[in-house]
């Protein structure tokens, strides 16, 4: 009896050992599992790229048939519709498959095996961006899928450096699209905006009504301003912008103060020439009685009468020349 029990116990231990041996994962099993996962992900990305190309081909053919007879520009939206892509993490999330996302998330984070409603692992926002950045690199390298990261990086480098060599280097490292593709993307965006913008009719430039009085006469100024506001209203513009010289500017300011509600939509600007002249006049006012007039005369920069005009702000071109000379002299002495 005792011998029989010993035999049964040994048999049970051997069966338990064999069961544990069957559950043990060998390095070969791990290698095969990794290989299958990589191949499955690669095939999924290649299928995604193939589906995008077929959709783009169908879009080109449909666009070409609808625009038959019209000449297309090289590099236009018809030729490169794949370049229409939103530069955002939201768009990147749409273009990255759940399997690739989860695989990278489990690789670089301590995320649990549980997935959310969208079929993806739950990670923090920072980790989410890290996973998407790596996933976009994989999509571009494995299947040549255009991603927001590679397009956005290329456009940023092109804007900041204007360097073709830098973009080519980053493209060879796999960090952005090529210089030529970046130029095509810019062209695509321009064409897309042009198509969404309504054709603006030709601008008509004409004279307004003539008034046989002085242009600074308050009645003439009021009628002119009213005419400009009526024209703006007919063109559907909410505000009326008027640029005038200093004499008329003062009259219009008086009209605005007198009737602020009527001229609430009026934006008044003084001409650039008078703004500069008043600025130089202000400099002369600050330097008046400082002896600067005598220095100008003694240095043979100008005569006494001209110096007085410069200080009073009555001769623009002479003021501009003399103030420049005085500034250079003071800067050298300082």
Task: Provide the percentage of residues in the chain whose pLDDT is more than 90.
Answer: 32
Name the least confident of 199-203, 248-252, 292-296.
Answer: 199-203
Q: What is the pLDDT of residue 25?
A: 56
Q: What is the pLDDT of residue 17?
A: 47
pLDDT in tens, 282-305: 998 998 888 888 888 999 888 999
Name the least confident of 15-19, 147-151, 275-279.
Answer: 15-19
At 243 the three-state DSSP class reads: strand
Residue in this structure with the two tokens 């309504």, named with its chain if needed: 198
Answer whether residue 261 shows pLDDT above 50.
Answer: yes
Residue in this structure with the two tokens 């890290």, named with its chain if needed: 130
pLDDT in tens, 161-200: 889 999 999 999 988 999 998 988 888 888 877 777 776 6
Nearest to 53 by CA among 92, 82, 83: 82
pLDDT in tens, 263-274: 999 999 999 999
Between CA 186 and CA 179 the distance in angstroms is 11
Nearest to 152 by CA among 177, 134, 187, 132: 177
pTM for the model:
0.48
Sort 130 into a burial class: Cβ within 10 Å, 0-12 / 13-18 / 19+: middle
At 242 the three-state DSSP class reads: strand
- Domain coordinates in residue numbering, the chain: 39-55+74-194, 218-270, 274-333
Between CA 191 and CA 288 the distance in angstroms is 58
Contact, 178 vs 172, CB < 8 A? no
Answer whether residue 60 shows pLDDT above 70.
Answer: yes
At 259 the three-state DSSP class reads: coil
């Amino acid at each position: 009896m005792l011998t029989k029990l010993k035999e049964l116990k040994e048999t049970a231990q051997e069966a338990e050992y064999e069961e544990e041996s069957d559950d043990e994962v060998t390095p070969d099993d791990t290698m095969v599992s990794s290989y299958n996962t990589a191949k499955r992900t690669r095939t999924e990305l290649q299928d995604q790229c193939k589906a995008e190309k077929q959709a783009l081909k169908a879009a080109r053919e449909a666009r070409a048939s609808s625009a038959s007879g019209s000449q297309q520009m090289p590099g236009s939206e018809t030729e490169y519709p794949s370049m229409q892509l939103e530069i955002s993490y939201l768009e990147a999330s749409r273009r990255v498959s759940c399997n690739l996302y989860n695989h990278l998330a489990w690789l670089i984070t301590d995320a649990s095996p549980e997935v959310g409603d969208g079929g993806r692992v739950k990670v923090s926002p920072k980790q989410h961006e890290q996973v998407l950045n790596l996933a976009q690199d994989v999509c571009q390298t494995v299947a040549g899928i255009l991603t927001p990261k590679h397009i956005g990086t290329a456009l940023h480098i092109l804007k900041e450096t204007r360097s073709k060599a830098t973009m080519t280097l980053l493209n060879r490292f796999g960090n952005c699209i090529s210089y030529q593709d970046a130029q095509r993307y810019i062209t695509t965006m321009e064409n897309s905006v042009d198509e969404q913008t309504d054709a603006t009719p030709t601008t008509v430039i004409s004279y307004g009504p003539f008034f046989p009085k002085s242009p600074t006469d308050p009645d003439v100024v009021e009628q002119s301003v009213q005419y400009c506001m009526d024209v703006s209203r007919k063109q559907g513009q909410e505000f009326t912008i008027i640029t005038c010289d200093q004499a008329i500017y003062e009259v219009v300011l008086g009209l605005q103060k007198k009737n602020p509600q009527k001229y609430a939509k009026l934006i008044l600007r003084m001409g650039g020439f008078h703004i500069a002249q008043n600025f130089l006049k202000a400099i002369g006012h600050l330097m008046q009685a400082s002896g600067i007039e005598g220095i100008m005369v003694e240095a043979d920069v100008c005569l006494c009468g001209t110096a007085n005009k410069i200080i009073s702000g009555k001769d623009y071109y002479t003021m501009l020349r003399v103030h420049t000379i005085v500034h250079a002299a003071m800067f050298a002495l300082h």
